[in-house]
């Protein structure tokens, strides 16, 4: 794998061996290395220290899986009364606790491989540093494009070349 940096975008190219002679050694998957926006839906009652541990652990997973710059960090916590969150197991046999967290990731396109790495890294980090069991972690991705982001000043910085 190699990383190509352009003046406007940072992209990760992964060399994928395709089956058959046609297309062998082609560069198939391309993904941006800019940050995602993470929203955390949790049951009220966590301390500020517990929330910080959750956010820090999640950021380490983002850094590891998506290779984003350390200061590309956008996280929002939404706290809900316990009666306002119904998070069942979809028939998978998970036991959920009051520490359940739904992580909604809004991002430019990511590869299946990097998403799978994120799921694993996130669960490992949350269990090890925030006391949240993997059975209490639900993740969903919403994919968007460069035209869907403005970081302030009334500009679309991915389109203007500022990012």
Report, as residue numbers or ranges, the catalytic residues.
36
Sign of CA dihedral 44, 46, 47, 53: negative
What separation in angstroms does the CA of 128 have from each of 22, 32, 45, 78?
A: 45, 28, 20, 22
Kindly state the tokens that stand for 44: 């009220």
> The tokens of 51 are what?
């929330």
How far is 67 from 32, CA to CA, in rounded Å? Answer: 9
How many residues are given for the chain? 163
Strand, coil or helix: 81:
coil
């Amino acid at each position: 794998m190699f990383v190509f940096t352009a003046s406007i975008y940072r992209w990760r190219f992964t060399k994928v061996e395709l089956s058959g002679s046609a297309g062998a050694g082609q560069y198939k998957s391309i993904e941006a290395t800019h940050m995602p926006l993470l929203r955390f839906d949790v049951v009220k009652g966590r301390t500020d220290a517990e929330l910080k541990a959750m956010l820090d652990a999640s950021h380490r997973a983002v850094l590891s899986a998506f290779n984003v710059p350390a200061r590309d960090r956008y996280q929002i916590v939404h706290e809900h009364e316990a009666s306002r969150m119904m998070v069942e197991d979809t028939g998978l046999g998970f036991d959920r606790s009051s520490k359940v967290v739904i992580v909604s990731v809004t991002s430019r396109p990511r590869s299946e491989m990097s998403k799978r790495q994120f799921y694993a890294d996130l669960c490992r980090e949350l269990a090890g540093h925030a006391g949240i069991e993997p059975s209490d972690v639900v993740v969903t991705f919403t994919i968007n494009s460069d035209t869907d982001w403005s970081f302030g000043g009334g500009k679309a910085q991915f389109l203007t070349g500022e990012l």
